Amino acid sequence: MCDFGQHHHLEQADFGFLVDVPEIRALVEETRRLTGEIADTAARVEALRPAFGQLLAADGWLPKEYSEPDLESGMGGGIGQYALYRAKDGSLCLFSLVIPAGSETPIHDHLAWGLIGVYRGMQSETVYRRLDDGHDEAKAALEVARKQTVRRGEFYTLLPPLDDIHYVKTVSKTPSISIHLLANDTACVTRHRFDTTSGIVTPFRSGYSNAKCSPNEARSAES
């Protein structure tokens, strides 16, 4: 298994509000409120759209150091994945994903419901659907479900298994920054890379660029 998390003693600073600003607190508080009030996942995510859109529309809250590429990233391609908020129980995270111009993520899944939107730059997203039943964990047959261009302020939802497998490429001349709100500790959960040519599925943990993962952390939050 490819494991890019750092195996060191976790500190309190690795959890909670790693970027403590009113805009992030407002989104996390609204997410917690709606999670407690709305049992249906699709309805909950739909109800979160206004609060998530407000964060994307706000300026000045993302620190410069969390908007830069990371040449040592576990995602490869200089992609930086910076935790902004992490629940200690692994039930929620918010992070920025910085993709240099011309770079792209591997084809991967998320294993949690959530919202993803572009804060700066522009991205092309390619979404896949599985053609197999997932019985063989090491193999997958995929086909392209759709492609879309996502510009600043635009966002989309994740409702696994729907739309959970994709890859993203920066198509702007400058790095793109996307903001991810997901119901697990995404970079520290064991997820999957997909090779559409060979059909091989590889477990991996991408790791955060600014926070540590536990060596045995491989949980995902249920809907």
Instruction: Read off the CATH number of the domain in which 182 is found.
Output: 2.60.120.10
- pLDDT, mean of residues 152-161: 94
Within a domain: 215: no
User: What is the residue-wise DSSP string for 82-143?
Assistant: EEEEE-TTSS-EEEEEEE-TT-BPPSB---S-EEEEEEESEEEEEEEEE-S-S-STTB--EE
Least confident of 75-89, 142-156, 209-223: 209-223
Q: Is the pLDDT of residue 142 over 50?
A: yes
Element at 3 (helix H, strand E): strand 2-3
Q: Is the pLDDT of residue 223 over 50?
A: no
Within a domain: 218: no
Within a domain: 152: yes
Residue 95: which of 17, 152, 12 has the closest Cα? Answer: 17
Using DSSP's 3-state secondary structure scheme, residue 41 falls into helix
Q: Is the pLDDT of residue 5 over 70?
A: no
Within a domain: 220: no
Within a domain: 223: no
Within a domain: 211: no
pTM (predicted TM-score): 0.89
Within a domain: 156: yes
State the residue range of the domain holding 93.
2-205
- pLDDT, mean of residues 163-180: 96
Within a domain: 38: yes
- The structural domain count of the chain equals 1
pLDDT at 217: 56
pLDDT at 11: 58
- Joined tokens for residue 198: 């060979």
- Joined tokens for residue 123: 């991205």
Amino acid identity of 90? G
pLDDT in tens, 120-140: 999 999 999 999 988 899 999
